Each structure stands twice: as C-alpha cells, then as structure tokens.
Structure 1
C-alpha cells in the first residue's frame, strides 16, 4: 500500500422452567414491543463497522476547549492551545490516512467548513483516497437556536466549502456536539442530504420521514469516541482499546441473529496521535480476524438502509 508521501507524489493532491408471575406476564404481553430489525445486512455482511474521522482543526474559535486550563486573562489568545489544534491537520489526519490505507478501510470524514477553507488540499486528499466527505457545519458555532433561514445559510456555507475544495457535494451531516434544532432535518432534506448522525438511540441505521420523504439516521457514538474517553475522561490507550474491544465482542455476538452496526469516532488532534493510531492498528487487526466484519462509509450504509425493506422505520 502506498504511503501518504508516495500518494501525494503520484496524485499531486489531485423460558426458565417454573411458575411465572401472572401480573408480570400480563404486563409483558400488553407492553408494546420495540421495533427490531429483521434479517441481517442485505449484502451478507455480519457486522458493519462505521468509522468517523472528524476534520475540525483550523476551524476552532479563539481560546477553544483544550487540555490547557481555561485561565487565560481576557483579551489574550491561548497560543499553546492553538498548536494543539494545528497538530490535527499537520500530523493527525495524515497519520490516520496512512493507517486506514494499511487496513484497507474507508471512513467518513465530517468536515467543518472553515477548517476545510484553511486546508483545502488536505480535504481534497481525503476524498482522493476514497473516503467520504460529510458536512459538519460552517464553523464551531451552535446551530440549534438559529432561525430557519440563518441555519440554512450556516449549513449551506459548510457544504459549499467542501464542494469547492473536493468537488463533492456532501450527503451526510453532523451538528456541533450533535445538537441539531427543530428545523435541522427539514433543512437537510431540502438541501439534498441523505442522512444525519446526530442520534445515539440504536446500534443500526433506521429510517424516518422528513417532509414525507425517507431520511436515514446512521447513529453516532459517545461510548467509542476519543474526544469523550481520551480527552474527556483521560482514558489511557489501553483502557480505550479494551472498551472498544468489549463493545465489538458484544455486537459481533448479537450480529449472529440481527443487523448490527458499530460506530467509532476519531478526532484529528486526538485520534491521530502516535499512541492512539498504534492502539487503533491493534483494534482493526483484531476486528478483521472475525468473519463477516466489514468497514463501510456512512453514505454507503445509508444507501443500503434505504434499499433494504427490513430497515427499521420510525
């Protein structure tokens, strides 16, 4: 597999027995059953693994959240924190791209528009190497409180930045910290999006109706997320690796009987560190030893969900 350096050169960046309590039995019979998927994945996959690579660095505001204490005097910039973010596009994403190639997997990169505008060549490289460019807003501003037209302009701005840099019009969306507003899905559907990920309610994709048209939810994760575990809870790489392996083992067991999807999320300045990429290498090697495990981009997952009559509808 070509290294990133080689790629850049060639591409040019182009029932228990016994009595059952009758009261309990009656309650169970009367309770509505949660919707469950039918057969597994239509393409014969046993467990689908969905990897996110957040492209955010460079689009952050002044004095953003970072590992440094938030004790800067008003009016001054946190310059060391800025370098922590720079690591994401200088080292993190390039290192992760080589690691994805090493294991032959394709991921979905949720791109902040302003980050793409500052590093268009990197955004273009992500797409040229076979990964999905998905939208992640124009910048780090929250959008859930924006009036309809302002939110639409905000989403369109991020879309246009990605399209200008990569030539690709994104079909997937991720709001800042998953916090969409009442109008978000309507706007996304009107703009031609196919799916969003701002939902934690299932371990498989499902379909909702937006403007009376099918719209897919490809659920995201906080349990298998480096910003939540490594940066937020200060997990060691060993703890991170063990947690995700345990999640994988349980979902793989369940996938023998029903459709299952596992979501994992990496952020440019966190997931692209040497130690975490090394842990990820061990993780992917472990997963690929299991028959029927496949890695898919979220746009491909959404298309499969739409085409499958057994996909859950809510």
Structure 2
C-alpha cells in the first residue's frame, strides 16, 4: 500500500468522472489539427550527428547509416519542406481551419519561406524541440540549452514567442526542464486522455493537452496498419464519430489529429485529409481550434485546484 502513495504514474485520471469542458458555443467536441514541421532538424551527419535519420520516412523503419548521409531519407524529408508543407497549408487555408504547428527550431531556421507562411496563417506555433531527435540520450545541460534555443528560434522566425511544448521523444527530464524554463501555457507530451488536465511540477500547476499517435498520419509509414489516405480517413472518422456521440450524450471531449508535411502532403494521401475535413465540417457543434485557444479556455473554465 505504501508503494501506491509514491508511485510516479497517474493511472486514474478523471476516474470516469471527467468535467464538462464547457467548450465555446456549447460545442460537443473540440478538434485540434496539428502539422509537424520537422524537415531540416532530423538526424544527419551534416548536423553533427553520428548517423542519418531512419524513422517516419517512406522507406519505413530501417537501420540508420552510420557516419554517412542517407540520400534517400534526405530526399524524402526534402519533399515535405519543398512540396508537402505547401499542399497541406493550402488545404487548411481553403477550409478555414485554425490549426497548430509543431515546429522544430532548426527546421524553421533552415526554411524561412515556411516561417513566413506560418506567421501569415496566424496558427499557434508550438516548440517541437530544437532538433527532431530522441532526447532520451541527450544530457540534461544540452537539453536545457535546446529548449531555450528552440524558443528563441521560433520567436525570431514567427515574430511571437511559443506558448506550447511538445518534444515527441522526450527524456525523463523534459517536463521538469520545460517547467523550469517557464513561459509555456501548456505541454503536449502525453497521450493519456481525451481532455486536458492539470498536473504539478515543482509544486506548481502544469497544464497538459494530450496529443495523439493513433489519429496520426505517421501510421502510414511506421510499417503498421495504414496503407492509404483512406485508411487514415476511416480511422480518424471513426474516432471523431465516437467522441462526437459522447458529446451528444453530455460528455464532450477533445480530439487531436497529427499531420506531417512529408507524409499526408503526398498527392496520394492528401485526399484522405480532405475527406476527413469534409466529414468534420459537416457536423454542427464542432470547435476546430488551435491548441493555444483550447489551453486558454481550459485555464479560464477549469483553473487548477490546490491539489493539482
């Protein structure tokens, strides 16, 4: 019994009794669409790394090339920045969707044209690590420096400081370092709920907006169960329909949808995203919002309790 008092994981959450989020306008569901901008910040010996990138490419998960550049992987990432990013942004603009950008600092530094487009869109821009790498093996001092550098890079590129954080491959130190840095309204390095929630870091309230790796186009290249844009559409449609029905039953929820320029931005896949937006936008009672707006709403409607 004593162990349960110090166990560091929260397996209960809202324990089946989540609060009514009171979404604006009485919405039945809040939908957060996220576009990851990573190309140019991935593993590469040009960036001082010991190996080339090897995950989330159309080559599937493979063994990384050591001490060498991987021309195929570089080219696949290049497609995202050169073509896919613009195709996805154009679709979001056409559908008047308010989205969120997960931005890798180094990637924005290498793609000023994308930074201009993001700034013009007004999309909430979240820190996605200064590098798109696995921070499990990065020492604490370096990770701390990368957090600060990521904030500076996004602020310089977009013209406004980021207020959200998402590493994706965090270290055991990441959340503490993010809280120590300060300046963030919310943290997305979690996948454990359908609603935002409060936790505590160093005795201070820390807001979590869970993200999603299942409603995510990454499944198209992880060697798993998605092969086509229709697979992505069908799964995300079913997730939306379930959460929407729960909202109709008086239990409104939040849905996150993860996109990558080099994945969903391909011509053979973008139709799946278009059909998903068609489906979502045919429904009344949907709040399509940036994560900044969702975080501010949660803070206003559900401020932290002393126990948070």
Q: Same fold (TM over 0.5)?
A: yes
Which residue does 2:252 correspond to in 1? 259
Q: Secondary structure at the match of 1:53?
A: strand
Cα separation, partners in 2 of 1:149 and 1:232, compared to 1, 3 Å: same
> 2:262 matched to 1:281?
no
1:219 to 193, 206, 210: 210
Cα separation, partners in 2 of 1:88 and 1:191, compared to 1, 3 Å: same
Shift of 1:126: 0.9
Cα separation, partners in 2 of 1:300 and 1:180, compared to 1, 3 Å: farther
1:91 to 83, 90, 98: 83
Q: Secondary structure at the match of 2:43?
A: coil
Looking at structure 2, the residues matched to 170 and 310 of structure 1 have their Cα atoms a distance apart, in angstroms, of: 21
Structure 1 stretch 260-269 or stretch 228-237: which is displaced more?
228-237
Shift of 1:183: 4.9
Looking at structure 1, the residues matched to 173 and 183 of structure 2 have their Cα atoms a distance apart, in angstroms, of: 18
Which residue does 1:4 correspond to in 2? none
On the 8 A contact 2:215/2:235 being kept in 1, the answer is: yes
Looking at structure 1, the residues matched to 90 and 104 of structure 2 have their Cα atoms a distance apart, in angstroms, of: 21
Looking at structure 1, the residues matched to 119 and 271 of structure 2 have their Cα atoms a distance apart, in angstroms, of: 23
Which residue does 1:150 correspond to in 2? 142
Larger radius of gyration: 1
Which residue does 1:291 correspond to in 2? 284
> 2:45 matched to 1:52?
no
Looking at structure 2, the residues matched to 123 and 298 of structure 1 have their Cα atoms a distance apart, in angstroms, of: 19
Looking at structure 1, the residues matched to 296 and 173 of structure 2 have their Cα atoms a distance apart, in angstroms, of: 25
Which residue does 1:27 correspond to in 2? none
> 2:45 matched to 1:64?
no
Alignment map for 1:164-313 (pairs within 5 Å) = 164-177=156-169, 179-233=170-224, 234-256=226-248, 257-309=250-302
Which residue does 2:19 correspond to in 1? 38
Looking at structure 1, the residues matched to 102 and 65 of structure 2 have their Cα atoms a distance apart, in angstroms, of: 33
Looking at structure 2, the residues matched to 33 and 108 of structure 1 have their Cα atoms a distance apart, in angstroms, of: 26
Cα separation, partners in 2 of 1:47 and 1:176, compared to 1, 3 Å: closer
Looking at structure 1, the residues matched to 176 and 247 of structure 2 have their Cα atoms a distance apart, in angstroms, of: 30
1:117-164 Cα deviation digits (max 9, x unpaired): 100221231121121111011112333454543322111111111111
Q: Secondary structure at the match of 1:305?
A: helix
On the 8 A contact 1:39/1:310 being kept in 2, the answer is: no
Looking at structure 2, the residues matched to 223 and 57 of structure 1 have their Cα atoms a distance apart, in angstroms, of: 21
Looking at structure 2, the residues matched to 46 and 99 of structure 1 have their Cα atoms a distance apart, in angstroms, of: 24
Looking at structure 2, the residues matched to 33 and 305 of structure 1 have their Cα atoms a distance apart, in angstroms, of: 15
Aligned pair count reads 283
Looking at structure 2, the residues matched to 32 and 182 of structure 1 have their Cα atoms a distance apart, in angstroms, of: 22
Shift of 1:305: 0.8
Looking at structure 2, the residues matched to 192 and 172 of structure 1 have their Cα atoms a distance apart, in angstroms, of: 9
Please tell me the root mean square deviation across aligned C-alpha atoms, in Å.
2.4
1:53-80 Cα deviation digits (max 9, x unpaired): 0000111122211333746875442212
On the 8 A contact 2:100/2:124 being kept in 1, the answer is: yes
On the 8 A contact 1:114/1:139 being kept in 2, the answer is: yes
Looking at structure 2, the residues matched to 290 and 151 of structure 1 have their Cα atoms a distance apart, in angstroms, of: 42
Which residue does 1:21 correspond to in 2? none
